[in-house]
Every structure is written in structure tokens, then in C-alpha cells.
Amino acid sequence: MALQYNFFIRYSKVLLISLILISFSGFAQQDTLKKLVQANGPAKLTGLEQWFNKNLLTYKPLQKIKLLNELEQIALKKNDKITLASIIFYRGLYVKAMDGHQYKRGIIQMKEAIAIAEKNKQPLQAAYFEHTLGYYYFTHTKNSVEALQNMLHAHYVFDRVGYRNTYNPSGMLDRLGYVYYHLSNFNEAIKYFKLSLENPMENSRRHIGILNSIGLSYRELAEPDSARNYFNQSRHQAILARDTAWIGINSGEIGRHYLNEKSYDRAKPFMQQYYSCGLAVKNTELIVEALTGLGDISLNSGKVDLALQQLKQAEALLEQEFKSGDMPVQDYLRKQYLFNVLARAWEAHGNTARSLDYLKEANKIKDSIERRAKLSKNISIQQMFEAEHTNNRLQLLEEEKQAAVMKQKLYISIGVLLAIIIMLLYSRQIRERKIRNQKESLLNLEKEKAESELESSRAQLVEYVHNLRQKAELLENIQSEMDLMQEQYKVSVGDKEDVFHKLSLATILTEDDWTRFKMLFEKVHNGFFLKLKTNYPGLTPAETRLCSLVKLGLNSHEMGAMMGISAMSIKKNRQRLRKKINLSKEQKLEDLFMDF
């Protein structure tokens, strides 16, 4: 009873811990799904591809359906069209095609997802889908035309975006190389395998496998040195990664290379390692090929019994592995090689009958393989030609589309540029018009100001001259009255002249008065003094003043009053001035200075 109780307690604890772990796992999964929906930009597509190709792929069919439904509910709430397109595609791939074995319905659904991605203007997502669909075509339906068409179309998109900006670039290029290898286009296969090596690797096994595939491609192109070089590189990477299976495979390839060269001593250690690795990973195919190679080496070393022992062991393993007779082409090649070596071994042993039996079987296998290879090669070439022809046409259409888009963008750019130029010109015209208007306004203001100042100066000059005339007239009247008073009151001549002199001082212009007069005169008759000096440089300051008074139209008495001399002196000065400037008798000073 106590034992049962203890067992129950332990079982309850284990069950409780399991339930807690399952709960935490469920919460973590929900959190992952929410993050997939919430992500944006290129990181979103990378996250989705990684989750669908790494995480979801590991679950059982029912769990896949459950997770896809949960992700769909989250995506629908957020109206996440990108995630919804991925769900449609991978439902078609996993649920319908792979798990449900409804490949036709699955392909229809995958194509629907591609159309949705293109409609959503997500060319990179559509390319991911096309690549995956193409690889599914090749591995599950053997439809090489559809496979290559989809994968090449995706390749053009990845190449345009830049493979390093995509998810798992090395893997996608490796798969494209793999398709070309199986279509016997080894040069193209090598090209894509090498491109794959230039991109980050998911793991060391992919790196090892790609190096091995390049070696196989070079071997098919009959370039043994290049083939051995890549097999050695692949083997070296396998040793570093401690990958027993790949160490064995590459050792076998190098051993086969030396066997073809009849270098049996060099081949032996590689074939021995091939055999050891085959035993370690329990792979019958590797063991059979290694034993056949070792039997070939023993036979050529003269060890016939050891060779027959190794070859019989290989034959037994091969028959046990493929009892039904359903054998892959690669194993038929192994069987042909085995029977050829057995034929030589029995002949060396002295049993000609058994040797002929094995030789006949080997030749039958050879004929069958050649027929199949010829047919397969013809089909492969035809399929590859059709696929590349279709893709060339698609690429041409894509280039034409891109050219049309570029042309449209160019026209739009030219239109925008012309609009900008027109706007700039219009803006410039408005600015220039505004500046011109401002200048005109300033000029008008300056003109008005100048005219106003000119009018003011003219008025001041007129007033100034008028006052002088009044003074001169007053002085003349006073002089006349003094002459009368002199007669009536007997005023002495000295007193009269003294009074007259004092009065005349009120009308004579001082230097300050002349300066003020000259300033007003220059404002009204701009450039007069400069022109006078230019034409008649020999004039004295008094003569210059006389010229300005003539310009104003003053008479001799007025001029004399302003200059402090008599009218008679003014007349004499005018005569001297006429002579100095060479004025003819017919010309008047007033007329001459009118043009100044």
C-alpha cells in the first residue's frame, strides 16, 4: 500500500511538472505568433519564412493545423495581409500537399497565395513562395519545367533585391544548383553552388554538401583535378565538423578518383575510411560501395581470396537491402561496379563460368542504365530547354515591364521637373516684378522727393531773390528821398553817403549768404557751376557770381545791390565778361546762360 502511495505521489509530481511545462510552452508559442504578426518591413518576411520552414515543419500534422489556425486568428484581428498570404501558402504545402497527399489541391492553394502576394505588392514574399513551390515540383512531382520556371523567376527577384537581403540565401542557391545538377546542366549547377558558398550558411553540413556537389559536377564534366580539389575541401570541413557520414562520403569519392587512375595504394586508405564511416553510421549503401572498392584494390594487389570475401559480403548486403528489387539508379550503378569486379575476381580465381555470369549481369545493368540515362537526359534537356525558354520569355516581359515603369517614371520625373522649372520661373517673375515694383516705388518716391525738394528750393530761391529785389528797390527809393532831403534840409554829402553806405550793407551778400545762395541755386539749376567752369575755366569767383545773377534775370541795379557795387560797375563787369568768353555783339549773356 505504501509503495502504491509513493508511486502515486511521484506520478502526480511528474504530471504536474508536465502540465506546467506544457502551459509555459503554450504561452511561449502564443507570444511567438503575436510577434510574427506585429513585425514590420523585411524583418517580418524573414521571421515568417524562418518560422514556417524551421519551426512549423517539425510539428506533427494535427499540431501544424492547430498552430496555423491560431496564427490566422491573430492575423485576422490585425488585418495582416502578409501573414495571411503565408498561411494560405504553407497550408497548401504542408497540410494539403505533403501531409494530406493532395498535391494538386496543395499546388492550387500555393499558386493562390503567390497571386495574393503579388496583389499585395509583395514581390519578395511572392518570390519566396515561387522558390518553395518550384522545389516541391522537382522533389515531389518530378515536373522539372514547372520547377525551373518558378525557381528561376524567384531567382531574378532575389538577385534584384540582393541575396544577402533574403532569408536563407545559401539554401535557395543550393537548391537551384541541385535542380540544374539533376537536369545534367553541370556548368549552371556549379555556378549556383559557388554563389551559395558566397552567402552565410545555416550550418556546417550545408557547406560540406555544397563542396561535395561541386566536386560531383566537375567529375561529370570530366575535370578530375577540380573534382578532387573540392572533394578534399569537403572532407576537410567534414573532419573539422566531426561529421562521420560526410567524412566517409568524401573519402569514398576521393578513393574512387584514385581507383579510376589505377592508383590503388593511394585509394586504399580512403576506401578503408569510407568503410569505417559506413559501419559507424550504419549505412548499407556506403558499406557496399566501400567493400567493392576494397575488393577491387585487393584483387589488383593479387589478394584474390580476400577480394572475393569482401565482394561476397558486399553482394549479400545489397541483396538484403533491396529484396523487393525496387532499387534506386545510384544503387544499380553500385551493383554494376560490384558485378564487374566479381567477374574479374572469379576469373582470377579460375572460375570462368561464374565470371561470365557476373559479366553478363553487369552488362545487362549497364545497358539498362544507359537506356534510362539516355531517356532521362533527353527528357531533362527538353524540360530544361522549355523551362529556360519560358523563363527567358518571362524575364523579357519583366524587363519590358520594368522598362515601361522606368519610362513612366521618367515621364513623371520630366513632368515634375518641368512643373518645378515653371514654378521657379513664375516665382522668379513674381519676385522680379515685386522687386521692379519696389524699385519703381522707390524711384517714384525719390523722384517725388527730388521734385518736392526742387520746388522747395526754387520757391526759396525765388523768395530769396524777391527779398533782395525788394531791398534793392527800397534802397533805391531811400536814395531818391535822400536826394530830395539833401536839397530841402541841406544834408551834407558825407552824411548822405554814410547813411547810404550803412543801408547798402543790408543788401550786399556776405560769404555765408553767397554759400546759401549757391546751394539753393545749384538745387534749382543743377550742374550750372560745373558746366560754367568746364566751358570757361578762367572765370573769377566774382565773374561766376555775376553769371549766376544773369541766369536769374536780375537787372544791373539788383546785381549791384547784391554784389555791393554800382549799376555802372555791373555794366562794366558784364562788358569784360563778354569779352573774356568771346561773346559776339549779337549774342546776349542771358541767352547764353539759358542753355546752362
For 423, other C-beta atoms within 10 Å of its C-beta total 10
Examine residue 590 and state whether it is found in any structural domain, yes or no.
yes
CA angle 37, 39, 45 (to 5 degrees): 90
| Domain region containing 527 | 508-594
Amino acid at position 229, single letter: N
The set of residues, in sequence order, having a beta carbon less than 8 Å from that of 75 and lying 6+ positions away, is 37, 83, 84, 87
Q: What is the mean pLDDT of the chain?
A: 82
Residue with cell 536769374: 552
Residue 464 to residue 507: CA distance in whole angstroms: 11
3-state per-residue secondary structure call for 190-256: HHHHHHHHCCCCCCHHHHHHHHHHHHHHHHHCCCHHHHHHHHHHHHHHHHHHCCHHHHHHHHHHHHH
pLDDT at 307: 92
Number of folded domains that form the chain: 1
Residue 89 to residue 125: CA distance in whole angstroms: 11
Residue 80 to residue 510: CA distance in whole angstroms: 102
Examine residue 484 and state whether it is found in any structural domain, yes or no.
no
Examine residue 534 and state whether it is found in any structural domain, yes or no.
yes
Amino acid at position 207, single letter: H
Residue 12 to residue 507: CA distance in whole angstroms: 138
Query: How does pLDDT run across 48-63, given as a tens digit for each residue?
Result: 999 999 888 888 989 9
Examine residue 490 and state whether it is found in any structural domain, yes or no.
no
Query: Does position 8 have pLDDT exceeding 60, yes or no?
Result: no
> 564-582 b/e with 16+ CB inside 10 Å = b?
ebebeebeebbeebbeebe
Task: Give the end-to-end CA distance of the chain in Å, rounded to a whole number.
Answer: 146
Question: Tell me, what CATH number does 576's domain have?
Answer: 1.10.10.10
Query: Does position 557 have pLDDT exceeding 60, yes or no?
Result: yes
Examine residue 531 and state whether it is found in any structural domain, yes or no.
yes
Examine residue 47 and state whether it is found in any structural domain, yes or no.
no
Residue 376 to residue 359: CA distance in whole angstroms: 25
Tell how far CA 135 is from the center of its chain: 31
Residue 451 to residue 460: CA distance in whole angstroms: 14
Between 26 and 280, residue with greater pLDDT:
280
Examine residue 583 and state whether it is found in any structural domain, yes or no.
yes
Query: Does position 263 have pLDDT exceeding 90, yes or no?
Result: yes
Query: How does pLDDT run across 509-533, given as a tens digit for each residue?
Result: 667 778 888 888 888 888 888 898 8
Examine residue 340 and state whether it is found in any structural domain, yes or no.
no
Residue 77 to residue 83: CA distance in whole angstroms: 12
